[in-house]
Amino acid sequence: MVQEWNDSQPIYRQIRDRVVAMILDGVLQEGDALPSVRTVATESRVNPLTVLKAYQQLDDEQLVEKRRGRGMLVATGARKLLLSGEREKFLSEQWPDIQATIVRLGLADELLGLNGVKKPGGEG
């Protein structure tokens, strides 16, 4: 987790998003421990309380669980939960814009006719 932060979102939100990405990518499997607060804080030079806040957020979303003596672990079913949530989000928030761009650029045939992807106007 060593990268620059953007300034359009609170840091704790961005940390949360990074952990989510790690879970989705399979870097963190269910039952794996999250990187320690200390490690994340020092590597990204962020207040440990901010990292804690991000982890708390993940806990609230039921993506991670606290285990005494072992720290924060990725919860069972987290990936599934995330995938469905992320899918939902992508389809309702991002896909329409991307679709519109594809159409605008005249790439609809090239990109959307292939691989069985539905053309615009069809189901999401």
Partner 1 sequence: MTDDLDMPREAAPARAVSPLKAFFWLVRRELWEHPSAWIAPLAVAGFAVFTHFISAVTISAAERQAVLAATSSAKFMVPYSAAIGTIIILGLVVGALYSLDALQGERRDRSILFWKSLPVSDLLTVLSKAFIPIVVIPASILILAIAANLLMAPLQSLVWLAQGYDPAELWGRLDLPYLWGALAMGIPFIALWYAPFYAWFLLAAAWARRAPILWAMAPFVPILMVEHLVLHNTPSHWALERRLAGGILEPYTVPNTGEKVVWIDHAGQFDWGRVYSLPDLWVGVAMAALFLFIASRLRRSRPPL
Partner 2 sequence: MAIIEARSLSKTYGDTVALQGVDLSVGEGRIVGLLGANGAGKTTALHALLGLVEYEGELSVLGRDPWSHREALMQDVCFIADVAVLPRWLRVSQALDYMEGVHPRFDRAKAEGFLGKTAIRTKARVRELSKGMVTQLHLALIMAIDARLLVLDEPTLGLDLLYRKQFYDALINDYVDHTRTIVVSTHDLHEVQHILTDVVLLDRGRVALNCTMEELEARYLEVLVAPDKLAAARGLGPISERPIFGRTAVMFDGVERKRLEALGEVRTPHLSDLFVALMAGRYAGPEASLNGEAAA
Task: State the minimum distance, in angstroms, from the CB of residue 108 to partner 2.
Answer: 27
Q: Does residue 54 belong to the site contacting partner 2 (CB under 8 A)?
A: no
Q: Contact region for partner 2 (CB under 8 A) — 22-30, 35-43, 74-82, 93-101?
A: 35-43
Selected from 10, 31, 77, 113, the binder of partner 2 by CB under 8 A is 10
Q: Does residue 38 belong to the site contacting partner 1 (CB under 8 A)?
A: yes
Phi, psi of 31 (to 5 degrees): 95, -15
Nearer to partner 2, 45 or 104 (CB): 45
Asked if residue 90 lies in contact with residue 82, where contact means CB atoms within 8 angstroms, the answer is: no
Say whether 114 sits in a helix, a strand or coil: helix
Nearer to partner 1, 64 or 102 (CB): 64
DSSP annotation of 2 reads -
Residue type at position 99:
Q
Give the DSSP H or E segment for 66: strand 64-67
